[in-house]
């Protein structure tokens, strides 16, 4: 009995969840979770067009400093994020940059700070469909280095803090106990979010590049959060999101220059 190879079956077709087709997107895509954040990214793009909006997947495509760039929201969690990566890969995306929000697990990290991932702890089930549990979820080194260098440069004139570390991707927003979070903090996990490990893994399996940059919305160890109604903290988070988006887009420009110079990209 034959079975369907879904990755092959949907190549060249309109994708079943994102409703995208070849030509709709650039080779660079930013991946926020929230569809509303896709709207924010679109404001930075020239001639941005809302290409599709189905379920949690909202996609705009436009131009940033001469480069065709897209943004697709992934919704919450690794299953929907991996679907976004798979379908975007089917229509020509080569470089994925997660642009999310996150909760810090180390003291001294403030709301509005930026965290760049150098690896993700797979506290989720989606990646197990791709690789064994012992297989690491790591971002592309060259793309991550470009984002880090861009963030450091922009932080000096835009006044934000940059952190680099290992994050954890979790499957449940509400099920984490204080003890669980303390243990993650003790082993040096810098932050938690819900998508990056699957994005890294799915991109790796497609021989594509992925990286993650997030804005801090909470610090669980210090007991502070922008999600609890404090307007000042919300403002800090919103400002941090805008700075994160600028870092991601400027990184696309720098990375494209790097590829052109070194790999004929």
pLDDT tens string 72-94: 999 999 999 999 999 999 999 99
The residue behind tokens 């800090």 is: 236
What average pLDDT does the structure give for the chain? 95
- Nearest CA-CA partner of 143 in 135, 151, 153: 151
Give the separation between CA 79 and CA 213, rounded to whole angstroms. Answer: 19
Q: In this structure, what token pair is assigned to residue 228?
A: 């609890």
Q: In this structure, what token pair is assigned to residue 250?
A: 């400027």
Give the separation between CA 158 and CA 213, rounded to whole angstroms. Answer: 16
Q: Please count the other Cβ atoms lying within 10 Å of the Cβ belonging to residue 151.
A: 26
Give the separation between CA 71 and CA 31, rounded to whole angstroms. Answer: 6
Residue 118: strand, helix, or coil: strand
pLDDT on residue 121: 98
- Nearest CA-CA partner of 115 in 198, 211, 254, 16: 211
pLDDT on residue 123: 97
Give the separation between CA 187 and CA 131, rounded to whole angstroms. Answer: 24
Listed in sequence order, the residues at least 6 apart from 145 whose beta carbon sits closer than 8 Å to its beta carbon are none
Mean per-residue pLDDT, 15-24: 97
The residue behind tokens 């979820």 is: 137
CATH topology of domain 17-262: Rossmann fold (3.40.50)
Give the separation between CA 61 and CA 52, rounded to whole angstroms. Answer: 10
**pTM given for the model:** 0.95
- Nearest CA-CA partner of 57 in 28, 87, 27: 87
119: enclosing H helix or E strand: strand 114-123
Q: Strands 209-219 and 95-104: what pairing? A: parallel
pLDDT on residue 63: 98
Cα angle value 200/204/206 (rounded, 5°) = 125
pLDDT on residue 16: 97
Give the separation between CA 192 and CA 170, rounded to whole angstroms. Answer: 7
- Structure confidence by residue, pLDDT tens digits, 137-188: 999 999 999 999 999 999 999 999 999 999 999 999 999 999 999 999 999 9
Where does the pLDDT of residue 3 fall: very low under 50, low under 70, confident under 90, or very high at 90 and above?
Answer: low
């Amino acid at each position: 009995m034959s079975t369907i190879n879904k990755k092959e079956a949907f190549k060249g077709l309109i994708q079943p969840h994102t409703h995208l087709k070849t030509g709709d997107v650039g080779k660079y895509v930013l991946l926020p979770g929230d569809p509303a954040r896709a709207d924010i990214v679109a404001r930075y793009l020239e001639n941005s067009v809302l290409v599709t909006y189905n379920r949690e997947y909202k996609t705009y495509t436009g131009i940033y400093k001469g480069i065709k760039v897209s943004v697709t929201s992934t919704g919450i969690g690794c299953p929907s994020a991996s679907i976004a990566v798979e379908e975007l890969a089917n229509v020509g995306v080569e470089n994925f940059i997660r642009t999310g929000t996150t909760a810090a697990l180390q003291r001294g990290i403030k709301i509005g700070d930026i965290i760049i991932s150098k690896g993700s702890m797979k506290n989720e089930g989606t990646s197990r469909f791709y690789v064994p549990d012992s297989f690491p979820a790591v971002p592309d080194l060259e793309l991550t280095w470009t984002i880090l260098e861009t963030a450091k440069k922009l932080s000096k004139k835009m006044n934000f803090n940059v952190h680099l570390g290992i994050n954890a991707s979790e499957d449940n927003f509400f099920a984490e106990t204080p003890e669980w979070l303390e243990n993650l903090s003790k082993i040096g996990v810098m932050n938690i979010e819900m998508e990056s490990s699957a994005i890294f893994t799915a991109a790796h399996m497609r021989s594509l590049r992925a990286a993650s940059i997030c804005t801090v919305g909470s610090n669980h160890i210090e007991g502070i959060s922008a999600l609890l109604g404090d307007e000042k903290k919300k403002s800090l988070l919103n400002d941090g999101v805008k700075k994160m988006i600028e870092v991601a887009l400027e990184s696309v420009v720098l990375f494209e220059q790097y590829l052109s110079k070194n790999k004929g990209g």
